[in-house]
Amino acid sequence: MQLLWQILVNGVLLGGLYALMALGLVLVWGVLNIVNLAHGALIMLGAYACYYLFTGFGLDPFAALPVAMVLLFCLGYLIQRHVLNLVIRAPMFNTLLITFGLEVVITFLAQITFSADFRTVNPSYAGANFVLLGATVPLVRLLAFGVALGLTFALWLFLDHTGIGRAIRATAQNLTAARLYGVNPRRLYALTFGIGAALAGAAGALYGVVSQINPYIGSSLTGKSFAIAIIGGLEKSIYVLVGGLFLGIVEALTALYIGPTYTDVVSFGILVLVLIVRPTGLLGRTA
């Protein structure tokens, strides 16, 4: 019983980070209709930004997080404006290919620049923990969970309650109508992709604190984010929390009761099931 409680705590904390990882992907997918296969590579860049701010400038990783977000926002804005915008009207297959290409290029440049050495962001409190009702709670995971929750909530507020946020949602729903109301989609798309990249940057900064980083972590993170997006559904950004927590808990339980070698099989098996049974996601409206 004690063990089960510990596993659930682990799963929830992991799920929070998962949700943040997928949040940017979901936003870009929902608004721009681009499945950004370079999303994991952007997370990787966020992790390196945090690493260099921490080791080079002694900046605490949680203080480095907003800086990483700003850097990634700028990069995302530029990528959308000068690369993706050229194919925004192209079929989905083309955008898939172009983001796949971006992923390969970013990963390669990262290896050239950062080398293939494994890095960790290791602040003095990285190993700190406390006991809650008999379960050990790692402090950094809890902080990461809090940040993930906060950013998801902030994005939801932004999209639902600000002018720009509404414009973004309007563009996603009906481009022509949004244009008639004076929305400039080109700027808005770049802004959205920038926000998506910034969220990837935040996820990366937290990822480096709990895990090791190297230039090749991107593709598996994209895969995971994709599964979460599908499980949660694209309808509302807040649903991604459900997808992340669900996957985190399922993986933790699978590792314990079925065996750690089966976690990927189970999570992607669920992805397939969701696509068949509830294609709009667990919380999405059924057609």
Partner 1 sequence: MKNLTLLFATMTLLLGSKLFAAPIELGASVQLTGQFANTGRYYGDAYQFAVEKINAAGGVKIGNAREKLNLKILDNQSDVNLSVRQYVQLVTQDKVNFLLGPFASDFALADSAISEKYDIPMIQGGGASDQIFSRRYKYIFGTLPPASDYFQSTLELMGQLKPAPATVALLYADDAFDVSVADGTRKAASKTSLKIVVDQRYSSKASDFNSILSLIKSQNVDAILVAGHETEILNFIRQAKTLNVNPKLYSFTVGVPSADFRAALGQDANYAFGMTSWVPSVVLKDDYFGNAEQFANEYKKRFGYEPDYHAASAVGDVEAFVKAIESANSLDPAKVRDAIAKVDFDSLYGRIRFNAAGQINLPQTVVQIQKGKLVPVYGPKGLLEKPLYPMPEWGKR
Handedness of CA 211, 216, 218, 221 (dihedral sign): negative
CA distance 25 to 37: 9
How far is CA 91 from each of CA 88, 241, 280, rounded to the nearest angstrom?
A: 8, 29, 21
Q: Does 259 bind partner 1 (CB under 8 A)?
A: yes
280 near partner 1, rule: CB under 8 A = no
Nearer CB in complex with partner 1: 38/178: 38
Residue 124: how many CB atoms within 10 A of its CB?
A: 7
What is the contact mask toward partner 1 in residues 183 to 212, using x (rule: CB under 8 A)? ---------------------------xxx
60 in contact with partner 1 (CB under 8 A): no
Residue 144 near partner 1 by CB under 8 A? no
Q: Which is nearer to partner 1, 20 or 183 (CB)?
A: 20
Of the candidate residues 129, 165, 268, 283, the single one contacting partner 1 (CB under 8 A): 129
Among 74, 263, 278, 280, binds partner 1 (CB under 8 A): 263
Binding to partner 1, residues 86-115 (CB under 8 A)? 108, 111
Residue 146 as a binder of partner 1 (CB under 8 A): the answer is no
* Cβ distance to partner 1 smaller for residue 13 or 32: 13
What burial class does residue 248 get, using C-beta atoms within 10 Å of its C-beta: 0-12 exposed, 13-18 middle, 19+ buried?
buried
129-132 and 135-138 beta bridge pairing: antiparallel
**Residue 262 binding partner 1, by CB under 8 A:** yes
Q: Tell me the two tokens of residue 194.
A: 């920038």
218 Cβ neighbours under 8 A, 6+ residues apart: 38, 40, 41, 42, 43, 44, 103, 106, 107
Question: Is there binding between residue 58 and partner 1 (CB under 8 A)?
Answer: no
Query: In the complex, what is the shortest distance from the CB of residue 181 to partner 1, in angstroms, rounded to a whole number?
Result: 45
Residue 39 and residue 222 in contact, taking contact as beta carbons nearer than 8 Å: yes
Q: Could you say whether residue 122 binds partner 1 (CB under 8 A)?
A: yes
Single out the residue of 118, 182, 276, 285 in contact with partner 1 (rule: CB under 8 A). 118
Determine, following the binding rule CB under 8 A, whether residue 132 of this chain makes contact with partner 1: no
Part in contact with partner 1 (CB under 8 A); list of ranges 63-71, 74-82, 156-164, 256-264? 256-264
Single out the segment in contact with partner 1 by CB under 8 A; choices: 126-134, 156-164, 168-176, 182-190.
Answer: 126-134
Residue 139 lies near partner 1 (rule: CB under 8 A)? yes
Sign of the four-CA dihedral 5, 16, 169, 218: negative
* CB of 158 or CB of 268, closer to partner 1: 268
Give me the least distance between CB of 2 and partner 1, in Å please.
7
Q: State the residues that interact with partner 1 by CB under 8 A.
A: 2-3, 6-7, 10, 14, 108, 111, 116-120, 122, 126-129, 136, 138-141, 210-212, 214, 216-217, 220, 251-256, 259-264
